[in-house]
Structure 1
Amino acid sequence: MKILQEDLKTGNFKHIYLLYGEEAYLVRQYRDRLRDSLCVEGDTMNTSVFSGKDIRPASLIDLSETMPFFAERRVIFVENSGFFKKSPEDLAAYLGELPETTYFIFVEEEVDKRGKMYKQVKKFGSVVEFKRQTDAVLMQWILGKLKKENKRITRPVMELFLDKTGTDMELITQELEKLLCYTMEKDVIEAADVEAICANQINGKIFDMVDAIGRKEQKKALDLYYDLLMLKEPAMRILYLVTRHFQILMQLRDMTGKGFDNKQMAAKAGVPEFAVRKYLGQAKSFSLAQLEEIVRASVQTDENIKTGQMADQLAVELLIISTMQG
């Protein structure tokens, strides 16, 4: 990320960037910063955006070969193409022969570092992975935002806030905006303010749901799922949060007894350090094999929904039931 920050500062840009990683908030932020730096506002003639799995590599190559129209650059954004899971040979080879006027910005959810596309971008451009940020980095980031609003907060209250939100920067931003509005007349943010505003019903209910699954309390787990649906939470977002939660438990369960301290566990699992003990307590309700199977089933459910094999709400409901079988 430091290299990209330097490129943005100096204006000396690579011709190819690949942005990916768990922290979607940062991926979007830096994608937009590249767009603002490389593209002329309103210039739709020389800025193109492609998205989805149906992009034809040949179309990208043809466009890349087209000279920009009364501009220095032609900038092509390609998002969630799947090219970095299954590399198209023609496009991968072409990345080493780009015209001086063409710039590619790839934004992907999944990346195979063994693939030719990844290796070509690394060779001829810049690969930037955005990982979950550490507690220390998040706290400094939040403090910076609060300072701009002339607000103060103690470390225990900050920890309470992060315990409510988790480490997702998008969610932190949303909850922080609500908290600032709530404390508009105050200089110091207190624990009561966080409890009042940042109840974060979503993550709390997900945690309780997983607790119920661990105790094989099917009715309670399903009731919590229906509550989330009543709160207008999309089934796909619930599935994402459930899958991520079980992935965290799986990682922590796997690290148990291997000499990792809480700080190392937190960094690897992407949770606040002070929340590790809570997650470890929950992970004890499952064997590592059970957690691995649940994660596999969650990924398969996601695929079944996206390919139209099952309706989203029903698919997630069946997944919750299946985790308590056997």
Structure 2
Amino acid sequence: MAGKKKMTYAALTKELETSALRKIYVLMGHEEYLISYLRGKIYAQALAPGCESMDAVVYDLDKKISNLNREDLLADIATPAFISPYKLVHIKQSGVFNRALGSDTLAEWTGILERVGEGTVLLFEERQGEDERAVRIDHKLLNVIEGLDGAVVRLDFQSENELLNWIGAQFSFNKLNITKEAALSLISRYESSMSMIQQALNIIFLYAQNQELSSIDLDLVDFLCRQDLSGTIFDLTDALAAGNIDRALDYLDRLLDRREAPLAILAMISNLYRRLLIAKELKTSTAIIESGITGSSFYANKLLQQARSFSLEQLEEMVEACFQCDLLIKAGEMKDQDALVVLLIQMSNTAGKRR
């Protein structure tokens, strides 16, 4: 099992199916579904059924390394399992990889890691928030772990193509077909979250089995899955572009009927128009993806298509209108729902101006 390079999800999955466990694992990144899957594989190989309470110890530190009792940790990594093949010591959200370590702290951690006993597995689980900066791959403690033949795996959000392949593989396994449009809609409405998409797929598979279906299309996804709020905001914007204020207000009513908070609706509208402005300036889906505002070609093309309905000046005016609406609400000068209605009327008037 020698090798100092950071592993991929696929490589570690294969290794866990064919090899003995390593002493140290670090699972880190933004994609909770993949982290949970690999954690489950490690638990299943390390522990005998029903022995988790005896042979596993969990330290949940909430990214506060000061919460860790080092004496307890040293005792746990030196104590063998009672019944299971391995003793499992699981450190969750230590936060130790999110900061630079001084020489003394690095030496202390190196000493701890070197004392992990035979038959013991030390598992670090470091989930990162969506807006949280990724851990540096050259972090000194990660280098130490790799030097001790530990496995370091970064598990970040999957690309659109990776998600399409993953969804397609699940449908093939269940002997079903799904249209690309429906698969892309799943990715969009669940914001590329594999955990959320998996929950939706479980519902789809059960329904398809019950109804003896062989293929899934967008209409069925719309019927079975949560509403695509981004799609509703796009529809609202289409209505504004067409000068149909009544239809735009109808979409607003639908969102309010679903108990979406007015400020959240405003944030979605404002966010979309900022992205439309960027799309108008960048002009191609490739440039939009490279800008970082989306990783989805499906969403990038939707932005481009809708941006064509407005001039650059109109989009700038609409973004400013969203900003002013937010100020009015937060200053208490207008009720939130009334402010949204006024905003849509104002934006409809802007869209109706000669471009």
Scaled to the shorter chain, the TM-score interval is: 0.5 to 0.7
Matched ranges for 1:1-326 at <5 A: 1-43=9-51, 44-53=53-62, 55-58=67-70, 59-86=72-99, 87=101, 88-89=105-106, 90-110=108-128, 112-113=135-136, 115-124=139-148, 125-183=150-208, 184-185=210-211, 186-201=213-228, 230=259, 261=286, 265=290, 271-279=295-303
| Stretches of structure 1 lacking an aligned partner (at least 5 in a row) | 212-221, 291-316, 318-326
If the length of structure 1 is used for normalisation, what is the TM-score? 0.65
1:204–1:95 Cα change, 3 Å: farther
| Stretches of structure 2 lacking an aligned partner (at least 5 in a row) | 1-8, 129-133, 239-251, 321-335, 337-355
CA RMSD of aligned residues (A): 4.4
In structure 2, C-alpha distance between the alignment counterparts of 1:77 and 1:197, rounded to whole Å? 37
Structure 1 window deviating more from structure 2 (110-119 vs 151-160): it is 110-119
* Pairwise CA distance, 1:132: 1.8
* Pairwise CA distance, 1:264: 5.5
* Pairwise CA distance, 1:15: 1.0
Contact 2:282 2:288 in 1 (8 A): no
Q: How many residues align?
A: 271
Counterpart residue type for residue 112 of structure 1: V
Counterpart residue type for residue 123 of structure 1: G
SS of 1:192's partner is helix
SS of 1:77's partner is strand
In structure 2, C-alpha distance between the alignment counterparts of 1:225 and 1:118, rounded to whole Å? 46
In structure 2, C-alpha distance between the alignment counterparts of 1:97 and 1:194, rounded to whole Å? 52
Contact 1:133 1:270 in 2 (8 A): no
Structure 1 window deviating more from structure 2 (162-171 vs 179-188): it is 179-188
In structure 2, C-alpha distance between the alignment counterparts of 1:225 and 1:122, rounded to whole Å? 50
If the length of structure 2 is used for normalisation, what is the TM-score? 0.61
In structure 1, C-alpha distance between the alignment counterparts of 2:173 and 2:285, rounded to whole Å? 37
Counterpart residue type for residue 299 of structure 2: A
1:263–1:128 Cα change, 3 Å: farther
1:140–1:81 Cα change, 3 Å: same
* Pairwise CA distance, 1:279: 4.9
SS of 2:96's partner is coil
Contact 1:76 1:104 in 2 (8 A): yes
Contact 1:182 1:193 in 2 (8 A): no
1:108–1:209 Cα change, 3 Å: farther
Q: Deviations over 1:296-323 (max 9, x none)?
A: xxxxxxxxxxxxxxxxxxxxx9xxxxxx
In structure 2, C-alpha distance between the alignment counterparts of 1:73 and 1:26, rounded to whole Å? 22
Task: Flag the structure with larger Rg.
Answer: 2
Counterpart residue type for residue 22 of structure 1: H
1:259–1:139 Cα change, 3 Å: closer
* Pairwise CA distance, 1:35: 0.6
Contact 2:189 2:229 in 1 (8 A): no
What percentage of residue pairs aligned between the two structures are identical? 21
